[in-house]
Amino acid sequence: MSTAVPAEASAAVLQPSEPIPDSAISEFLKSYERIGFQASSLGRAIDIVNRMRKWRLSDEPISADESEDYLSPEIRAQTRCDIFLGYTSNLISSGLREIILHLVKHKHVAAIVTTAGGIEEDFIKCLGKTYLADFNMDGAELRSRGMNRIGNLIVPNDNYCKFEDWLLPILDTMLAEQQATGEVWSPSSFIRRLGKEINNEESVYYWAYKNDIPVFCPALTDGSLGDMIYFHSFRNPGLILDIVRDIRALNELSRKSKKAGMIILGGGVCKHQIANAMLIRNGADYSVYINTGQEFDGSDSGARPDEAVSWGKIRADAESVKVFADATLVFPLLVAATFAQD
């Protein structure tokens, strides 16, 4: 009996496939523009983000009052749109963290604004696991078991204990350095230091530290980080965090941007802090909002881009869109059609 595989059978089963062109995903998502409703808004968001990525100062004529620093054709060709990325803490708790990490690792953004949870949950994920669960789990039962629910995710309270064990010695060292040098910390320099200390490539803020991307957190004490700083203030008081340095740094980064774009996932502090920084330069040139907020209650979180235009936070001739959607659904698609094409 022959031991050779019949050639015709092998050819039928092992038929080689043709490579799928890299443009297939982009073309598929480009079709969203023609679907209508929020699919069209997503298509518009993809187009705006690609315009942010494509823009160079060399696209613009040299103005009469242009600084000498920007007269060189080479410098103009290298000067890009500064993209300010904002997101709420729940998105770091979710698997969207890995999408955000990709953007930071590959230097696709110029600055980040997030909330306290958006900082601490990144480090906590380096220390312990977050579990997929259910929105309908009983809160009292979870509390009795030491389980914290974030939507349909569960974070064991032990993770926060590990976070405390990791963080408190760092706070001691930072306080000692402050006392020795007289130099106080700002929230962004605090986050940068933690990114250095975690020394873990799975951390968003490790890559922000490595790539010198500033991370601003105006509400740094509104979470577990605040709890740890509170405890530390009894055990070893004196640590100072200067928010004035950060608002100046963020506003100056905005003011000095030759072109500025906002990509904001969610609402609240991260949304308004970036938009308010854009006011310093008379508005953003590009703006993409992704959130589920509604404007009927007058909240900034639910406001559409046109409201920001009225405040001077988005320029009247800017390209802007709001996608009414859960960011965990649509942001991976947006990244696939934009930044992931590099």
Give catalytic residues, as residue numbers: 313
Report d(CA 229, CA 218) in Å as an integer.
15
**Nearest CA among 197, 200, 199, 207 for reference residue 174:** 197
Burial of 181 (0-12, 13-18, 19+ CB in 10 A): exposed
The answer to whether 241 touches 183, Cβ cutoff 8 Å, is: no
Question: Vertex 149, ends 225 and 216: CA angle to 5°?
Answer: 30
- C-alpha to C-alpha distances, 338 to 41, 45, 86, 261, 342, nearest whole angstrom: 15, 10, 17, 14, 8
Burial of 203 (0-12, 13-18, 19+ CB in 10 A): buried
SS3 244: helix
φ, ψ dihedrals at 213, nearest 5°: -100, 115
Report d(CA 5, CA 204) in Å as an integer.
50
The answer to whether 265 touches 115, Cβ cutoff 8 Å, is: no
**Residues with Cβ < 8 Å from 330, sequence gap 6 or more?**
38, 42, 45, 290, 323
Rounded to an integer, what is the distance from CA 173 to the centroid of its chain? 28
φ, ψ dihedrals at 149, nearest 5°: -100, 130
